[in-house]
């Protein structure tokens, strides 16, 4: 029987979740993250967890790991010295970008420094045309000279990006093979493996980012695996990819850029899983922590995938000021900077929340670590939504007076309003921003979110859940047990899986059934090969095909599933599916316009492991013990003031019990705030299912 | 309950998010690369009086200023009481629209029940409008294509089939052109739907109070910032290449209290070529210029336009009258902000950037490698000007703001092979803060057919000026087979010289941005770093910055401390 551990390394804490199928137990643990070498915190915390469970590492059959290492390295610029080898004439793609300003009025904007400075960007003579035909042959001798020069400059990791390599990768592959033979210690990332997609700027950006973090990730994973082995671990070790699949350490070390959203995506997966348990196919996942807030739209039980994301915004967090990365990822929405978002008043006397964040250090004013600017958390403390004596289960008392002063100085005084009104304003504006981000994203996805359920988790999620939910007119709010380590659970339920995609502009009118089949079969071969290396047998694998199509002449595509196509005329059926999807999104579809395929994609995944949240029962005390802890003054907008509200201990609420708002339900890492008329019921999975008061 | 301040904030934010959704809907359904990749478009919401309430974050700076004027022109032609739900208004008249025929403005009234509550509007660059094709060589507007006066594109939900038929028969790519008009309509409808949802949610019968509140705020903030500029009349004059002789733009900016008066008396007359600027476009770029140096971080609306007053003598190139040709009005109009900023650089240089290398536009038409016809508008940016405390950005648009498609996409849709696209050494204007670099591109015709090239270039005779002792950036050059060609020519009319024949190469050197401050004040280490990156050659480091750079140990030494010559 298996014993599996999920480990989620975050900015401040490393979360652990253990599923012991043998004894039917589900346990959680939190341990401070050790930023210098996160492996230390992981190994120490893991030993602590196992010790408390009376287990040894030898007994653990599988560890699944999520980490923010890659995102942090890119944001904090802590990667390796990287060189770039590009087609002659195109080494500057990284710096020329798309040439557009992300803010038309601000004459002071800045773009991120390229990850490779210009003197480390070298050229090689070779050239393909857009059909992949060789116009100029590759000169490997020149490659050798350039790489020797880069090594002399201290380059240890190299990105290779040649024009049109997404159509024909042979030149890049030959360079890679040559370098492995002649420069065995050099890390090499080639663009046709990392991001085989048209567009030299974004492809270069992605390949370079991979090269930049590769040495760091490889070393970290080596330390961690050595540490695990030294402690007797003999099981499988996997990492979570941004796409929500798991990958082997070997793959992760080769394509580390795929780990970018490794941590946050687990929360989205877990929300999807919770929805499945509850029989709810349409969900919004709402994850609000101390430093970030993320959202995700789950539609028909499926997560939306993105193939391009932006990381490390360099100028006032503005969209367009970061590094574009072409990686498959679960589409997560940046919906705010979490509890640490700073509130201020702008020149138009408008209350603003974020994008600046107080982060973990100094953190909100109420943390008492020197923060003086008002944050969302400060507002929540003043409104009575967060219990200053029971933050992190009482381990971290909060300074209410500091919160009051910060809100007074930063918002109330400039607006000429009272502190409570200011705090309420901050709370409401934060809710509105997050609701807006959801709405905008939903519009982009062509999804009407009314009637969805909202899963709220992360430290601050349950505090804002009802406010956000009401603005979105959702049906119910689900607050899972262990909301604070919810993402770590997600690591345990993800099946092993890989995505591959290929860009090939193909007019559907010119595509034969055989060619279509051959194209998907080739992609499936790659996926199966990756899964085989991860020790999965072909019969355990589920494959899914999809194509991104558009009308010829358009620039944006619509994804269409390509499984189970009609055998006699699969291309015609693909067209039919596209027109349906397009009409659903945009209302009308042009008549008789020819279609073309742009991206061809295959996803492969192994069997999913079920996770029974009811196993949590040993951690949750039995019903009957008094769940009502006392009363506290909480600001109720519907009453226009503070009212004493009952306070419940979440750990003492048993399945079937009901809490009627106004009330606060506290657990160690978070509190759920219910307003007048909201009703929460504990379901069999210990999830608090909240029905908001009818508006 | 909620404080009014907070309610206003939330409703205002929502308006901005609604126009951003209009934008998304527009680019996702558009058939034009220039719309969805270059963002040559704009999306706006107006109140029921037609006053601008909000604009999409990613909009063309010029259209933001022209669409509010178009709105008023359309309202004069179609007064509110004559409008019905399901109506859509349209025009591409250069003097009522965006300054040339190639852009279409589409505006839809938004009704709540029977009551007109707002308008949504979009502007997009059309794939084609007939006539000569997109170029700057027409002598009168009649040669440039189909002119659509203010009309109804749809009436009570029914499309104006007569108009659509007329357009269909007058353009080269009817499916795409009509497809894009549908995209405009769909986007406007999206906006209307979301606007009504907002009103529903907050139980707003009308938007009047919200409109007044946010316009008042923006106007007050703008006036407050203008007041911080010392009163006075500031003059500036600049030149740009014309056809027979240089064109002069003369500008006087008068700051009086909390208002700005801009006049262009002394500016050259219109020319018999398609570069004349209708006044609506001149006004738009004046409003943009003042917004940038007063309240760049605040949302734009009608209030931001109020304190800015612009005049230009009729018949001058910045107030061209019909039938002047205006196809390439941007090639001249883009200089308007530099005229305004140049005047104000005397008093508020710290708020400005030196002149930019500006945008270049090449319109290629021909056949691709497989013989299929193509038309491709190829943008490229010069360097952005240096700022008071920062270097200029390399290859960055200004004052226009369009995005450039990848070389891989360009090659895939044309018969062109791009030989290089790289930063152009020594093109950034020297200064304490260096101007951004321009770029070098080559375009080779690899097809078996000739390619027609229409150019809309600038800065070939007059480089981007530096500020406060900063030096100008390098000039732009366009060559075919090594031979300089006219920056605003259309290389079809003069066979043998300006057509890009199979195998021939066009070389483009894009201009650099101007420098800011005395180059001799640039720290030696910064000059060494520039040389190491190849932004500056060792020779230029010595000549322009007085720094001798040791290129083996990467150390530098200042050998000149005073400007020479």
Residue ranges of B 64-123 with Cβ closer than 8 A to chain A: none
Tell me how far apart the alpha carbons of residues B311 and B324 are, in angstroms, rounded to a whole number.
Answer: 19
Q: Are residue A588 and residue A507 in the same domain, yes or no?
A: yes
Structural domain count, chain A: 6
pLDDT band at A389 (very low <50, low <70, confident <90, very high): confident
The pLDDT value recorded for residue B201 is 78
Q: Quick check: is B125 in a domain?
A: yes
Tell me how far apart the alpha carbons of residues B446 and B417 are, in angstroms, rounded to a whole number.
Answer: 6
User: B109 pairs with which residues across the strands?
Assistant: B119
Tell me how far apart the alpha carbons of residues A691 and A454 are, in angstroms, rounded to a whole number.
Answer: 11
Tell me how far apart the alpha carbons of residues A278 and A298 are, in angstroms, rounded to a whole number.
Answer: 14
Mutate to test the interface with A, among B65, B357, B370, B406 (most CBs of A within 10 A): B406
pLDDT band at B565 (very low <50, low <70, confident <90, very high): very low
Q: Residue B9: list chain A partners with CB under 8 A.
A: 350-352, 425, 429
pLDDT over threshold 80, residue A622: no
State the nearest Cα–Cα gap between A54 and chain B, in angstroms.
53
* Contact (Cβ atoms closer than 8 angstroms) between residue A664 and residue A690: no
Q: Are strands A663-667 and A641-649 parallel, antiparallel or unpaired?
A: parallel
The residue segments making up the domain with residue B499 are: 354-522
User: A479 pairs with which residues across the strands?
Assistant: A688
Q: In this complex, is the C-beta atom of B300 within 8 Å of any C-beta atom belonging to chain A?
A: yes
- Per-residue pLDDT, averaged over B244-259, amounts to 95
Residue ranges of A 333-352 with Cβ closer than 8 A to chain B: 346-352
Strand order across the beta sheet in which A628-636 lies = A628-636, A641-649, A663-667, A670-674
Q: Residue A640: list chain B partners with CB under 8 A.
A: 1
Q: Quick check: is B358 in a domain?
A: yes
Q: Quick check: is B144 in a domain?
A: yes
Q: In this complex, is the C-beta atom of B224 within 8 Å of any C-beta atom belonging to chain A?
A: yes
Beta carbons within 8 Å of B228's beta carbon, 6+ residues apart:
none
Tens-digit pLDDT profile for residues A272-315: 999 988 889 999 999 988 777 889 999 888 888 787 889 887 78
Tens-digit pLDDT profile for residues A68-112: 889 888 887 889 999 999 999 999 999 999 999 999 999 999 999
Domain boundary among A605, A635, A653: A605
DSSP per residue, B399-433 = SS------HHHHHHHSSEEEEEEEE-TT-SPPSSB
Residue with tokens 């050494």: B425
Q: Residue B421: list chain A partners with CB under 8 A.
A: 89-90, 92-93, 96
The pLDDT value recorded for residue B80 is 95
| Cα-based distances in Å from B258 to A542, B220, B372 | 68, 9, 57
Tens-digit pLDDT profile for residues A461-482: 999 999 999 888 899 999 998 8
The pLDDT value recorded for residue B2 is 38
Tens-digit pLDDT profile for residues B385-440: 999 999 999 999 999 999 998 999 899 889 999 999 999 999 999 999 999 999 99
* Contact (Cβ atoms closer than 8 angstroms) between residue B517 and residue B511: no
Q: Residue A100: list chain B partners with CB under 8 A.
A: 38-39, 396-397, 401-404
Domain boundary among A556, A573, A605: A605
Q: Residue B182: list chain A partners with CB under 8 A.
A: 588, 590
User: Hey, are the CB atoms on B397 and A110 less than 8 Å from each other?
Assistant: no
Q: Are residue A123 and residue A98 in the same domain, yes or no?
A: yes
Q: Are residue A649 and residue A672 in the same domain, yes or no?
A: yes
Both ends of chain B: CA-CA distance in Å?
A: 71
* Contact (Cβ atoms closer than 8 angstroms) between residue A594 and residue A580: no
Mutate to test the interface with A, among B389, B407, B438, B441 (most CBs of A within 10 A): B407
| For B5, nearest residue in chain A (alpha carbons) | A350
Q: In this complex, is the C-beta atom of A581 within 8 Å of any C-beta atom belonging to chain B?
A: no
| Cα-based distances in Å from A52 to A27, A34, A93, A351, A611 | 9, 21, 54, 47, 21
Minimal Cβ distance to B33: which of A100, A415, A555: A555
> Which structure tokens are listed for B532?
């190491």
Q: Quick check: is B238 in a domain?
A: no
Minimal Cβ distance to A593: which of B175, B401, B439: B175
Report helix, strand or coil for B228.
Answer: coil
Q: In this complex, is the C-beta atom of A317 within 8 Å of any C-beta atom belonging to chain B?
A: no
DSSP per residue, A296-362 = EEEETTEE-EES-EEE---STT-TTSSEEE---EE--EEEE-GGGEEEEE-TT--EEEEEEE-TTTT
Tell me how far apart the alpha carbons of residues A459 and A667 are, in angstroms, rounded to a whole number.
Answer: 10
Domain boundary among B204, B219, B234: B219
Q: Quick check: is B242 in a domain?
A: no
State the nearest Cα–Cα gap between A118 and chain B, in angstroms.
5
Nearest to A346 by CA among B220, B292, B2: B220
Q: Quick check: is B146 in a domain?
A: yes
User: Hey, are the CB atoms on B533 and A117 less than 8 Å from each other?
Assistant: yes
Supply the mean pLDDT for chain A.
Answer: 88
Q: Are residue A161 and residue A109 in the same domain, yes or no?
A: yes
Q: Are residue A633 and residue A683 in the same domain, yes or no?
A: yes
User: Hey, are the CB atoms on B17 and A444 less than 8 Å from each other?
Assistant: no
The pLDDT value recorded for residue A608 is 74
Q: Are residue A466 and residue A324 in the same domain, yes or no?
A: yes
> Which structure tokens are listed for B20?
């951003």
The residue segments making up the domain with residue A113 are: 75-210
User: B43 pairs with which residues across the strands?
Assistant: B122
> Which structure tokens are listed for A107?
């004459």
Q: Quick check: is A613 in a domain?
A: no
pLDDT band at A458 (very low <50, low <70, confident <90, very high): confident
Q: Residue A101: list chain B partners with CB under 8 A.
A: 396-398, 401
Half-sphere exposure of B339 (CA within 13 A, CB side): 31
Q: Choose between A638 and B512: higher pLDDT.
A: B512
Q: Residue B398: list chain A partners with CB under 8 A.
A: 101, 107
Q: Are residue B196 and residue B50 in the same domain, yes or no?
A: yes
State the nearest Cα–Cα gap between A561 and chain B, in angstroms.
19
- Per-residue pLDDT, averaged over A1-23, amounts to 85
State the nearest Cα–Cα gap between B365 and chain A, in angstroms.
16
Q: Are residue A177 and residue A278 in the same domain, yes or no?
A: no
Minimal Cβ distance to A640: which of B1, B351, B407: B1
| For B174, nearest residue in chain A (alpha carbons) | A593
**Could you count the other beta carbons within 10 Å of the beta carbon of residue A95?**
24
Report helix, strand or coil for A601.
Answer: strand
Q: Are residue A513 and residue A578 in the same domain, yes or no?
A: yes
For B420, list phi and psi in degrees, rounded to 5.
Answer: -160, 155
Structural domain count, chain B: 2
Q: In this complex, is the C-beta atom of A628 within 8 Å of any C-beta atom belonging to chain B?
A: no
pLDDT band at A447 (very low <50, low <70, confident <90, very high): low
Say if residue A140 is exposed, middle or buried (CB neighbours under 10 Å; 0-12, 13-18, 19+).
middle
Domain boundary among B219, B240, B260: B219
Tens-digit pLDDT profile for residues B489-523: 654 444 334 689 999 999 999 999 999 999 999 99
Tell me how far apart the alpha carbons of residues A205 and B247 are, in angstroms, rounded to a whole number.
Answer: 42
User: Hey, are the CB atoms on B186 and A587 less than 8 Å from each other?
Assistant: yes
The pLDDT value recorded for residue A78 is 86
Minimal Cβ distance to A96: which of B31, B395, B408: B395
> Which structure tokens are listed for A486?
């919810």
Mutate to test the interface with B, among A472, A555, A635 (most CBs of B within 10 A): A555
State the nearest Cα–Cα gap between A544 and chain B, in angstroms.
25
pLDDT band at A356 (very low <50, low <70, confident <90, very high): confident
| For B440, nearest residue in chain A (alpha carbons) | A89
* Contact (Cβ atoms closer than 8 angstroms) between residue B358 and residue B429: no
Dihedral angle computed from the Cα positions of residues A137, A141, A146 and A149, in that order, rounded to the nearest 10 degrees: 180
Percent of chain A with pLDDT over 90: 54
Q: Quick check: is B399 in a domain?
A: yes
Instruction: For A610-652, list the strands marked E by DSSP.
Output: 628-636, 641-649
The pLDDT value recorded for residue A337 is 65
Beta carbons within 8 Å of A358's beta carbon, 6+ residues apart:
A340, A341, A342, A364, A371, A373, A375
Q: In this complex, is the C-beta atom of A152 within 8 Å of any C-beta atom belonging to chain B?
A: no
Instruction: For B336-391, list the strands marked E by DSSP.
Output: 359-367, 373-381
Tell me which of B33-47, B272-286, B392-406 is least confident: B33-47
Long-range Cβ pairs for the range A537-543 (8 Å, 24+): A540/A606, A540/A607, A541/A604, A541/A605, A541/A606, A542/A604, A542/A605, A542/A606, A543/A602, A543/A603, A543/A604
The pLDDT value recorded for residue B1 is 32
* Contact (Cβ atoms closer than 8 angstroms) between residue B515 and residue B432: yes
**Could you count the other beta carbons within 10 Å of the beta carbon of residue B389?**
11
Q: Are residue A195 and residue A234 in the same domain, yes or no?
A: no
Q: In this complex, is the C-beta atom of B39 within 8 Å of any C-beta atom belonging to chain A?
A: yes
DSSP A237: E
Q: Tell me the ipTM for this assembly.
A: 0.94
For B548, list phi and psi in degrees, rounded to 5.
Answer: -95, 125
Tell me how far apart the alpha carbons of residues B500 and B363 are, in angstroms, rounded to a whole number.
Answer: 12
Q: In this complex, is the C-beta atom of A110 within 8 Å of any C-beta atom belonging to chain B?
A: yes
Tell me how far apart the alpha carbons of residues A549 and B217 are, in angstroms, rounded to a whole number.
Answer: 45
Q: Residue A110: list chain B partners with CB under 8 A.
A: 390, 393
Domain boundary among B182, B203, B219: B219
Report helix, strand or coil for A540.
Answer: helix
Q: Are residue B360 and residue B212 in the same domain, yes or no?
A: no
DSSP per residue, A253-296 = HHSGGGGTTTTHHHHHHHHHHHHHHHT--SEEEEEE-SS-EEEE
The pLDDT value recorded for residue A99 is 96
| For A553, nearest residue in chain B (alpha carbons) | B31
Q: In this complex, is the C-beta atom of A123 within 8 Å of any C-beta atom belonging to chain B?
A: no
Domain boundary among A493, A513, A533: A493
Q: Quick check: is A615 in a domain?
A: no
User: Hey, are the CB atoms on A96 and B297 less than 8 Å from each other?
Assistant: no
CATH code, domain carrying A46: 3.30.420.40
> Which structure tokens are listed for A443?
């519009």
Q: Are residue A307 and residue A450 in the same domain, yes or no?
A: yes
User: A646 pairs with which residues across the strands?
Assistant: A631
| Cα-based distances in Å from A432 to A132, A464, A475, A673 | 49, 10, 18, 17
Tell me how far apart the alpha carbons of residues A359 and A11 are, in angstroms, rounded to a whole number.
Answer: 9
Minimal Cβ distance to A425: which of B6, B12, B446: B6
The pLDDT value recorded for residue A619 is 54
State the nearest Cα–Cα gap between A151 and chain B, in angstroms.
16
Tell me how far apart the alpha carbons of residues B209 and B216 are, in angstroms, rounded to a whole number.
Answer: 11
Tens-digit pLDDT profile for residues B155-212: 998 999 999 999 999 998 888 898 889 889 989 988 998 899 889 878 899 999 999 9
pLDDT over threshold 80, residue A199: yes
Tens-digit pLDDT profile for residues A367-382: 888 889 999 999 999 9
Tell me how far apart the alpha carbons of residues A237 and A221 are, in angstroms, rounded to a whole number.
Answer: 10
CATH code, domain carrying A201: 3.40.50
Minimal Cβ distance to B297: which of A92, A106, A110: A106
Q: Quick check: is B311 in a domain?
A: no
Q: Are residue A116 and residue A17 in the same domain, yes or no?
A: no
State the nearest Cα–Cα gap between B409 and chain A, in angstroms.
7
* Contact (Cβ atoms closer than 8 angstroms) between residue B123 and residue B98: yes
Q: Are residue A49 and residue A91 in the same domain, yes or no?
A: no
Q: Residue B190: list chain A partners with CB under 8 A.
A: 443
Pairs of CB atoms within 8 A across A/B: 211
Report helix, strand or coil for A233.
Answer: coil
| For B287, nearest residue in chain A (alpha carbons) | A105
Minimal Cβ distance to A92: which of B13, B21, B422: B422
Mutate to test the interface with B, among A93, A99, A346 (most CBs of B within 10 A): A99
For A64, list phi and psi in degrees, rounded to 5.
Answer: -115, 130
């Amino acid at each position: 029987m298996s014993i599996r551990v999920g480990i989620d390394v975050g900015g401040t804490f490393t979360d652990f979740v253990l599923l012991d199928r043998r004894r039917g137990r589900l346990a959680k643990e939190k341990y401070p993250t050790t930023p210098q070498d996160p492996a230390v915190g992981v190994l120490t915390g893991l030993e602590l967890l196992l010790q408390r469970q009376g287990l040894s590492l030898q007994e653990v059959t599988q560890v699944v790991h999520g980490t923010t290492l890659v995102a942090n390295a890119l944001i904090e610029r802590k990667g390796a010295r990287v060189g770039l080898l590009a087609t002659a004439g195109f080494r500057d793609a990284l710096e020329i970008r798309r040439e557009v300003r992300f803010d038309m009025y601000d004459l002071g904007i800045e773009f991120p420094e390229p990850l490779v400075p210009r003197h480390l960007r070298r050229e090689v003579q070779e050239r393909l045309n857009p059909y992949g035909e060789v116009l100029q042959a590759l000169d490997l001798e020149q490659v050798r000279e350039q790489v020797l020069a880069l090594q002399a400059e201290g380059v240890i990791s190299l990105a290779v990006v040649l024009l049109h390599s997404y159509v024909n990768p042979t030149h890049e592959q030959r360079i890679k093979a040559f370098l492995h033979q002649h420069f065995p210690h050099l890390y090499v990332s080639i663009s046709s493996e990392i991001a085989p997609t048209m567009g030299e700027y974004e492809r270069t950006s992605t390949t370079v980012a991979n090269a930049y973090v590769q040495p760091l990730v490889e070393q970290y994973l080596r330390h961690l695996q050595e540490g695990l082995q030294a402690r007797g671990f003999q099981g499988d070790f996997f990492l979570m990819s941004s796409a929500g699949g798991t990958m082997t350490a070997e793959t992760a070390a080769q394509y580390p850029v795929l780990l970018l959203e490794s941590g946050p995506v687990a929360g989205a997966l877990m929300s999807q899983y919770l929805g499945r348990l509850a029989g709810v196919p349409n969900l919004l996942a709402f994850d609000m922590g101390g430093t970030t807030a993320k959202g995700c739209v789950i539609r028909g039980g499926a997560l939306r995938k993105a193939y391009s994301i932006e990381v490390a915004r360099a100028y006032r967090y503005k969209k367009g000021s970061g590094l574009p990365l072409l990686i498959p990822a679960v589409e997560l929405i940046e919906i705010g900077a979490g509890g640490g978002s700073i509130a201020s008043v702008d020149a138009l006397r408008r209350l603003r929340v974020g994008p600046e964040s107080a982060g973990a250090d100094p953190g909100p004013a109420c943390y008492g670590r020197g923060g003086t600017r008002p944050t969302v958390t400060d507002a929540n403390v003043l409104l009575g939504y967060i219990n200053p004596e029971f933050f992190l289960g009482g381990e971290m008392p909060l300074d209410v007076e500091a919160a009051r002063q910060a809100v007074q100085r930063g918002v109330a005084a400039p607006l000429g309003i009272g502190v409570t009104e200011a705090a309420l304003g901050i709370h409401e504006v934060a809710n509105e921003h997050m609701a807006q981000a959801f709405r905008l994203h939903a519009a982009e996805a062509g999804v009407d979110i009314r009637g969805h359920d909202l899963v709220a988790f992360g430290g601050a999620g349950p505090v804002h859940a009802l406010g956000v939910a009401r603005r979105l007119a959702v049906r119910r709010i689900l607050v899972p047990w262990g909301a604070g380590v919810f993402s770590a659970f997600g690591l345990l339920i993800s099946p092993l899986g890989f995505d591959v995609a290929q860009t090939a502009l193909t007019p559907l009118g010119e595509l034969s059934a055989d060619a279509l089949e051959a194209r998907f079969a080739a992609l499936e071969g790659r996926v199966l090969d990756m899964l085989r290396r991860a020790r999965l047998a072909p019969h355990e694998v589920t494959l899914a095909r999809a194509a991104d199509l558009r009308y010829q002449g358009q620039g944006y595509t619509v994804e269409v599933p390509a499984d189970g196509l009609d055998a006699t005329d699969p291309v015609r059926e693909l067209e039919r599916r596209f027109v349906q999807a397009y009409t659903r999104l945009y209302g009308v579809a042009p008549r008789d316009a020819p279609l073309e395929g742009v991206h061809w994609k295959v996803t492969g995944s192994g069997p999913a492991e079920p996770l029974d949240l009811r196993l949590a029962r040993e951690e949750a005390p039995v019903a009957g013990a008094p769940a009502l802890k006392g009363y506290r003054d909480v600001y109720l907008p519907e009453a226009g003031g503070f009212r004493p509200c009952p306070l419940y201990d979440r750990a003492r609420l048993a399945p079937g019990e009901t809490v009627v708002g106004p009330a606060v339900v506290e657990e160690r890492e978070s509190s759920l705030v219910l307003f007048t008329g909201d009703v929460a019921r504990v379901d069999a999975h210990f999830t608090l299912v909240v029905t908001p008061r009818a508006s | 309950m909620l404080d009014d301040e907070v309610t206003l904030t939330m409703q205002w934010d929502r308006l901005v998010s609604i126009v951003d959704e209009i934008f998304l809907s527009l680019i996702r359904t558009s058939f034009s690369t220039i719309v969805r990749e270059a963002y040559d478009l704009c999306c706006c919401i107006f109140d029921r009086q037609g006053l601008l309430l909000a604009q999409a974050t990613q909009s063309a700076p010029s259209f933001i200023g022209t669409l509010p004027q178009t709105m008023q022109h359309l309202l004069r032609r179609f007064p509110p009481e004559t409008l019905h739900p399901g109506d859509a208004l349209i025009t591409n008249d250069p003097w009522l629209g965006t300054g040339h025929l190639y852009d279409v403005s589409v505006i839809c009234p938004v009704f709540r029940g029977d009551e007109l509550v707002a308008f949504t509007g979009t502007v997009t660059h059309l794939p084609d409008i007939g006539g000569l094709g997109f170029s700057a060589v027409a002598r009168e507007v009649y040669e440039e294509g189909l002119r659509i006066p203010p009309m109804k594109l749809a009436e009570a939900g029914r499309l104006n089939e007569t108009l659509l038929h007329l357009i269909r028969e007058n353009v080269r790519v009817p499916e795409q052109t009509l497809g894009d008009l549908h995209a405009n309509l769909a986007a406007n409808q999206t906006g209307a739907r979301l606007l009504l949802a907002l009103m529903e949610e907050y139980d707003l019968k009308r938007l009047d109070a919200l409109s007044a509140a946010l316009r008042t705020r923006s106007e007050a903030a703008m006036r407050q910032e203008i007041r911080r500029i010392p009163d006075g009349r500031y003059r500036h004059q600049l030149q740009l290449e014309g056809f027979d002789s240089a064109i002069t733009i003369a500008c006087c900016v008068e700051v009086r209290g909390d208002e700005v008066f801009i006049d262009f008396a002394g500016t050259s007359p219109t020319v018999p070529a398609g570069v004349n600027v209708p006044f609506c476009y001149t006004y738009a770029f004046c409003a943009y210029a003042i917004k940038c140096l007063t309240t760049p971080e605040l949302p734009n609306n009608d209030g931001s336009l109020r304190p800015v007053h612009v005049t230009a003598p009729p018949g001058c190139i910045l107030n061209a009258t019909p039938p002047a040709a205006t196809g390439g009005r941007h090639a001249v109009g883009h200089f308007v902000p530099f005229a305004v900023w140049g005047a104000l650089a005397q008093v508020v240089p710290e708020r400005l950037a030196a002149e930019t290398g500006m945008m270049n536009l090449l319109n290629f038409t021909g056949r691709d490698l497989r013989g299929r016809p193509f038309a491709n508008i190829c943008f490229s940016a010069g360097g952005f000007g240096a700022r008071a405390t920062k270097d200029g950005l390399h290859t960055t648009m200004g004052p226009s703001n369009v995005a450039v498609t990848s070389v891989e996409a360009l090659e895939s849709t044309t018969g062109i092979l791009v030989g290089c696209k790289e930063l152009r050494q020594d093109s950034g204007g020297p200064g304490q803060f260096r101007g951004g670099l321009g770029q070098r591109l080559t375009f080779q015709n690899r097809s078996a057919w000739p390619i027609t090239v229409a150019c809309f270039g600038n800065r070939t005779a007059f480089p981007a000026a530096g500020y406060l002792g900063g030096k100008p950036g390098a000039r732009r050059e366009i060559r075919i087979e090594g031979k300089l060609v006219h920056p605003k020519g259309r290389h079809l009319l003069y066979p043998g010289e300006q057509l890009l024949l199979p195998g021939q190469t066009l070389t483009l050197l894009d201009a650099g941005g101007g420098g800011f401050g005395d180059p001799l004040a640039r720290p030696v280490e910064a000059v060494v770093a520039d040389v190491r990156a190849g932004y500056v050659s060792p020779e230029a480091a010595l000549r322009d910055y007085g720094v001798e750079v040791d290129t083996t140990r990467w150390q530098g030494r200042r050998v000149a401390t005073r400007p020479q010559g």
